[in-house]
Structure 1
Amino acid sequence: MQRHMHAGDGGHILVLGRDGATTPALSILYGVDGQRNFRFATGSHGVEPLWNGQAYPDFASAWLAAQAVHALIRDDSTGLHEYETANREHLWARAWHQQHFHRSGQLPLIRLYAQAHTQLQNCQSAFGKAEMKTVVDRLAFEITRAAYHRHMTVADMIEESDMLAINLRSANMIKQRARAYVATCMDPVTRPELDILLDRVVSYIPRRCP
């Protein structure tokens, strides 16, 4: 469909769909413009939609902004605060999504996991918590997969990174998060193989008293 767009024209918008959760008196449309940015519009039935002048780099940002505007129209201060908070937290997650494609020269996985986990704990909105949880779970999976290929326990990787602020027994939680990521985010075709991989990785080996 992009071939039919006016390339570089921010005012030429392809409608992607309508938000069915809005009130009958008000509808929200979503679209993508000729600059490949996402847009939203508000309008009433039978009236030409009014497209918001702000463009967004991803659909989630456009959706959150539209919901905030809708809450403002409804005079819903609680909803407005929730969506504004979610939008701020989405920017945190978006930065992590971008890092997924640019891993060169970055911090070790354990340090990245610790940073993302801190941001998850700081999230206040339901949307932000869900999105950051996926980021943390993905990093947990990458840690576990790295431990498998290096024939190490997850606890060994924590010790190697000098991130002892992460309790060694939290290695179990890392493995649980990795399993959750495989169960909810990975292609079902690959899950059996990845489950076997996870089964073979030891979280930690308890220290025994002499």
Structure 2
Amino acid sequence: MRELHTAPAAWHLQHSHPETLVSYFDPWQPVTRQLDMLAHRFSAVKALCDAQMDSPATENAELAALRDSLAFHLLRASMWWQVDFSPRAVTGLQATSFMQHVRRHTDRMVDDETLLDVLTWQHYMHRADSGHIMVTGVDPLCRGNTTILYGIDGHRGFRFALRRAGQSLSWNDITHPDFIAACLNARALHCLLETECTAIGEWDLAREEHIQASRYHTQHFRTANQPNAVENYATALEQFSRCRSRFGRFEFESIVNKMAFSVILAAHEQDASIADLLRHGATRPVSSRVAGSLKKRARTHVATGTDPLRRPGLDAMLDQVETGFALSGGN
């Protein structure tokens, strides 16, 4: 990352465009990592823009456009995955100031302005009409003769449609609260149509387990500051142990790793050891096996669930936190 020290603006203009950071139609990309990258890159690029405004040089219009684009996609991603988003808590900006950046972007990008409206005020939609649906995209991962299309309806709900060659488009009646829920249902029916899939039970399990996982996604931006980090970790770990679908295990492993990181962060902020937190932070006994895996899971979260630009600082923080008791594997 040496470029960041010599030409940070140029580096961000090459590497921080939202289309390289987030994949809206691929549920196998971790939600935690994509949200963290969007939030961190927005703050970093905004800081660069602010620094330019304080200098005699003229503001870099391309960098300002990138800042505004990141603001829009941070908002869109939060609604896409049903994540509670407070501009002030996440970016330090008042909602009105943050939305000014979003508006500057949508003033330039008509399609994004339309999508934002469908996700929020729905001035252009038949509001409360489940039959009025804006198509948002096609599933890039499905194979065979059946195409999956996704959309958002007049209830701001996520919908999908299946279209076979030579047949008309048919929207499924179910409205889903987030994109991943719609995607899992769509993939299940696609599998059934294309292959008479005998693994339909796997999809049913995945949908049930996603309902549990989505509650953690909703709290994504809140968990770092919650006082019951140990309890949250123990609960998530227990739910992870019960997952039977491949997708459920994928989602919950990412969640458990994030919860483990939250425990380490809490220990760091309280200048306590992990052992101290585990002894006093949970209503249930925590085994040494669970305690021993905390740092490993936290490091995995830093490596796979956060912006790579944050990794050196977060790894250094993890190194500073003491385990507090003798365990095989050490820190």
- Segments of 5+ residues of structure 2 without an aligned counterpart are 1-113, 118-123
Q: Residue in 2 aligned with 1:77?
A: 198
For 1:149 and 1:168, the matched residues in 2 are separated by 22
Q: Normalising by structure 2, report the TM-score.
A: 0.57
Q: Residue in 1 aligned with 2:318?
A: 198
Cα 1:134–1:23 change in 2 (3 A) is closer
Query: In terms of mean alpha carbon deviation, does 117-126 or 15-24 score higher?
Result: 15-24
- Say whether the 8 Å CA contact 1:155–1:168 is kept in structure 2: no
Cα 1:189–1:115 change in 2 (3 A) is same
Query: In terms of mean alpha carbon deviation, does 66-75 or 80-89 score higher?
Result: 66-75
Cα 1:152–1:129 change in 2 (3 A) is same
Q: For residues 8-54 of structure 1, what are the alpha-carbon distances to aligned partners after superposition, in whole Å with 9 as ceiling and x for unaligned?
A: 33222121222244344211111112321110101123432100011
CA-CA distance at 1:169 after TM superposition? 5.2
Cα 1:96–1:201 change in 2 (3 A) is same
Q: Residue in 2 aligned with 1:180?
A: 300
- Say whether the 8 Å CA contact 1:110–1:163 is kept in structure 2: no
Q: For residues 40-76 of structure 1, what are the alpha-carbon distances to aligned partners after superposition, in whole Å with 9 as ceiling and x for unaligned?
A: 1011234321000111000111011111112222321
1:65-104 pair list within 5 angstroms = 65-73=185-193, 74-78=195-199, 80-100=200-220
Cα 1:61–1:155 change in 2 (3 A) is same
- Of Structure 1 and Structure 2, the greater helix share is in 2
What is the DSSP-based 3-state SS (H/G/I as helix, E as strand, rest coil) of the residue aligned with 1:77? coil
Q: Residue in 1 aligned with 2:279?
A: 159
What is the DSSP-based 3-state SS (H/G/I as helix, E as strand, rest coil) of the residue aligned with 1:43? strand
1:17-28 pair list within 5 angstroms = 17-28=137-148
CA-CA distance at 1:189 after TM superposition? 2.3
Q: Which protein, 1 or 2, shows the higher relative CO under an 8 Å CA cutoff with sep ≥ 6?
A: 2
For 2:321 and 2:227, the matched residues in 1 are separated by 22
For 2:205 and 2:227, the matched residues in 1 are separated by 28
Q: Residue in 2 aligned with 1:49?
A: 169
Structure 1 residue corresponding to 2:151, chosen from 1, 26, 31: 31
For 2:177 and 2:152, the matched residues in 1 are separated by 10
How many residues in Structure 1 have an aligned counterpart in Structure 2? 204
Q: For residues 141-191 of structure 1, what are the alpha-carbon distances to aligned partners after superposition, in whole Å with 9 as ceiling and x for unaligned?
A: 110001011111111111112556322353331111111111112122222
Determine whether 1:15 maps to 2:142. Answer: no
What is the DSSP-based 3-state SS (H/G/I as helix, E as strand, rest coil) of the residue aligned with 2:308? coil
For 1:149 and 1:102, the matched residues in 2 are separated by 16
Structure 1 residue corresponding to 2:266, chosen from 125, 134, 146: 146
Q: Normalising by structure 1, report the TM-score.
A: 0.87
For 2:264 and 2:172, the matched residues in 1 are separated by 44
What is the DSSP-based 3-state SS (H/G/I as helix, E as strand, rest coil) of the residue aligned with 2:150? strand
